[in-house]
Amino acid sequence: MKKHLLSIDDLTREDIERILHRAESFAEVSGREIKKVPTLRGRTVINLFYEASTRTSSSFEIAAKRLSADLVNVKSAGSSVDKGESLKDTVQTLSAYDPAAIVFRSPSAGAAGLVARWTTASVVNAGDGKREHPTQALLDVYTLRRHRRKLDGLNVWIVGDVLHSRVARSNILAFTRMGCRVTVCGPPTLIPRGVEALGCDVSPTLEGVGEADVIYALRMQHERMTGSFVPSLREYAAQYQINSRRLGAGQLLMHPGPVNRGVELSADVIDSPQALITEQVQSGVVVRMAVLYELLAGAPTGAEAPIHPEPQPA
């Protein structure tokens, strides 16, 4: 595996399989009373977040702590960024602590790649603008695999604001890499031009969603919208909301969170047994443990270290 995880494109299918396998072994650790392994003892992980986050920041924090790393959380609000310090200076300052990894979230597409150039630490992209969110896609693949062992040929529909969604981009790449057939669906104003080049189909309506094995709904990303992309949320919901009328009995429902209740999803489907939303959050911890493990402690390609050493109790 490469030194950084900036995009799903950094991973082969084999890399993804290895991360999923590792995450499964960490799920066993998470079931213990003492949920800790010594793997990253003495290593430092810095969570550097320039944008709001609940799930991603908390699960990376728990993941680093369960691997016994020393963790530092830096949020742009309240840091020297407020005093005008540049991203480069902030990264170089934090790199003075010799971190093993910097987990970085930013509102700017491509910013994680810049951070990787300014530090000797491994960089994990925890979401860069509307570009990518690779660990979200990995935890989604992990969650789905717990329900459908075979992903090859699975029909996945990603519905909603694809244009502003880094999750959509990473998930199209990850799901197709795992053999799924992916269709993106939403109002034409919210579908990026040329998205088919990522290997998915496009549907401007929900007609045909009944064929899906999995419906993956996206949040309306108001914070990234500069204009008006839909006439109104009510009209959007009328045409694209996943509700109990549109969710078939055998279909699984996913969403990266946070959910806008009553917009992309109706309250009843959020709370239905078909919804994997809470399970996706749980998967975030073990998958992020696996990513940190692979980047910081995994065997480099061709090295002799065992591929799947069992985690040892601390």
**Which single residue brings its beta carbon nearest to ligand ASP?**
219
Choice between 55 and 65, CB closer to ligand ASP? 55
Choice between 37 and 286, CB closer to ligand ASP? 286
Residue 44 neighbours by CB under 8 Å, 6+ apart: 69, 70, 71, 72, 97, 98, 99, 100
- Residue 227: helix, strand or coil by DSSP? coil
- Residue 75: helix, strand or coil by DSSP? strand
Min. distance of Cβ 200 from ligand ASP in angstroms? 18
Choice between 15 and 140, CB closer to ligand ASP? 140
Q: Segment 134-163, which members bind ligand ASP (CB under 6 A)?
A: none
Task: Give the whole-angstrom CA distance, residue 225 versus residue 115.
Answer: 25
- Binding residues for ligand ASP, rule CB under 6 A, total 7
Bridge partner residues of 242 (DSSP): 265
Tell me how crowded residue 298 is: count the other CB atoms within 10 A of its CB. Answer: 21
Tell me how crowded residue 78 is: count the other CB atoms within 10 A of its CB. Answer: 8
Which one of residues 23, 167, 190, 253 is an interface residue with ligand ASP (CB under 6 A)? Answer: 167
Which one of residues 43, 166, 169, 177 is an interface residue with ligand ASP (CB under 6 A)? Answer: 166
Q: Segment 102-131, which members bind ligand ASP (CB under 6 A)?
A: 127
Q: Is 164 in the site for ligand ASP (CB under 6 A)?
A: no
8-state DSSP, 238: H
Q: Segment 245-284, which members bind ligand ASP (CB under 6 A)?
A: 256-257
Cβ atoms of 293 and 271 within 8 Å: the answer is: no
Min. distance of Cβ 231 from ligand ASP in angstroms? 21
Mask for 209-228, x = binds ligand ASP (CB under 6 A): ----------x---------
Residue 142 neighbours by CB under 8 Å, 6+ apart: 20, 23, 283, 286, 287
Min. distance of Cβ 60 from ligand ASP in angstroms? 12
Q: What do you get for the CA distance between the two ends of the chain, in Å?
A: 26
Choice between 29 and 285, CB closer to ligand ASP? 285
User: Which chain residues interact with ligand ASP by CB under 6 A?
Assistant: 127, 133, 166-167, 219, 256-257
